């Protein structure tokens, strides 16, 4: 039988780690590590779509991660989720296994990674909204004021005439953020019973029967040549989003949300634009305009205020 777990599969709440405060501290640390891992997702996707189609990239990363997840579930002898959990796992799969990867891959054919990461500024507000709707959390009214200001700053940046802006890229990014926020909140609520890594693992396995045919149907006629300037980065991007973005990042992220609170720990996502902008500049050589940095900084300040009242 599977041993009984507390939030995010870490044992009963508190334990010897200092009770509620200790659990929250651990949750924030775990959440920060998850955000650091996710920060490489958009730059990695940006280079991967140079060698793979968005649909194949979405399916391939899900299939690779699902195979790893299945090995973990089998090796650690995890019991199957209950029938009542399947609907929630389907929502997680729709949001973070299919929706966000596919929509961001489509968007990144039209906008730079540096431009796209600023849209992550909307993620805390979206995640908090779904935390209320799906997990029953109740942040204070001031929380919504600060989060709303941060979202307005992000929307203002998208409409400011930045040279990287494109409706063909911005609209899929907005849709991706909505679906991802839903998947975050739904998965975090489920993680309190099943455990963080178990939730993303079962969601990947649940999506596998759909993702395998899609991967086969979109199989590239020719594969990127690792000897070219685009081939090796494309393969590296596929590897990163498959192992780190699709699986390992969620192990820490869902654990953090479950322990520290979805609305509160979700504010850590506002650090992701800074990490993402730095990676886009260092690894891809993309220009980072001062307007991008200013918008990201303003959003972070707004959500720092929201965190206080979460």
Instruction: Indicate whether 10 pLDDT > 50.
Output: no
- The three-state DSSP-derived secondary structure of 138-161 is CCCHHHHHHHHHHHHHHHHHHCCC
The CA-based angle 175-36-225, given to 5 degrees, is 75
300 versus 102: which is more confidently predicted? 102
pLDDT digits (tens, 9 = 90+) for 219-230: 998 898 887 877
**Tokens of residue 246, six digits:** 């699709």
pLDDT of residue 262: 87
Instruction: Indicate whether 159 pLDDT > 70.
Output: no
pLDDT digits (tens, 9 = 90+) for 126-147: 888 898 888 788 878 888 888 7
Tell me the torsion sign for CA atoms 223, 234, 254, 133: negative
Whole-Å CA distances, 171 to 54, 79, 160, 292: 16, 40, 15, 18
Return the domain boundaries, the chain.
19-220+228-308
- Helices 41-48 and 272-284 sit at what angle, rounded to 10 degrees? 40
What is the pLDDT of the chain when averaged over all its residues? 82
pLDDT of residue 299: 74
pLDDT of residue 178: 93
Instruction: Indicate whether 112 pLDDT > 90.
Output: no
93 versus 25: which is more confidently predicted? 93
Q: Of all residues in the chain, what percent carry a pLDDT higher than 90?
A: 38
């Amino acid at each position: 039988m599977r041993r009984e777990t507390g939030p995010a599969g870490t044992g009963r709440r508190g334990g010897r780690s200092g009770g509620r405060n200790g659990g929250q501290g651990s949750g924030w640390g775990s959440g920060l590590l998850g955000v650091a891992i996710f920060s490489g997702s958009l730059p990695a996707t940006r280079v991967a779509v140079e060698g793979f189609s968005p649909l194949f990239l979405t399916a391939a990363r899900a299939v690779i991660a699902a195979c790893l997840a299945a090995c973990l579930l089998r090796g650690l002898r995890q019991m199957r989720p209950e029938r009542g959990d399947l609907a929630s796992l389907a929502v997680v799969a729709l949001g973070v296994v299919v929706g966000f990867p596919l929509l961001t891959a489509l968007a990144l054919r039209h906008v730079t990674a540096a431009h796209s990461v600023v849209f992550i500024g909307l993620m805390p507000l979206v995640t908090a909204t779904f935390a209320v709707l799906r997990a029953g959390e109740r942040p204070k009214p001031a929380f919504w004021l600060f989060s709303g200001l941060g979202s307005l700053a992000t929307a203002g940046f998208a409409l400011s005439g930045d040279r990287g802006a494109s409706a063909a890229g911005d609209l899929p990014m907005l849709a991706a953020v909505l679906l991802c926020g839903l998947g975050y909140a739904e998965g975090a609520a489920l993680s309190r019973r099943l455990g963080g890594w178990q939730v993303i693992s079962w969601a990947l396995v649940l999506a596998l029967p759909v993702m395998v045919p899609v991967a086969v149907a979109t199989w590239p006629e020719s594969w990127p040549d690792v000897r070219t300037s685009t081939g090796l980065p494309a393969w590296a991007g596929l590897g990163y989003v498959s192992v780190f973005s699709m699986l390992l990042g969620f192990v820490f992220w869902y654990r953090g949300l479950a322990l520290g609170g979805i609305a509160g720990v979700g504010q850590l996502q506002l650090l992701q634009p800074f990490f993402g902008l730095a990676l886009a500049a260092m690894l891809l050589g993309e220009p980072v305009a001062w307007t991008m940095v200013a918008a990201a900084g303003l959003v972070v300040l707004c959500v720092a205020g929201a965190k206080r009242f979460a």
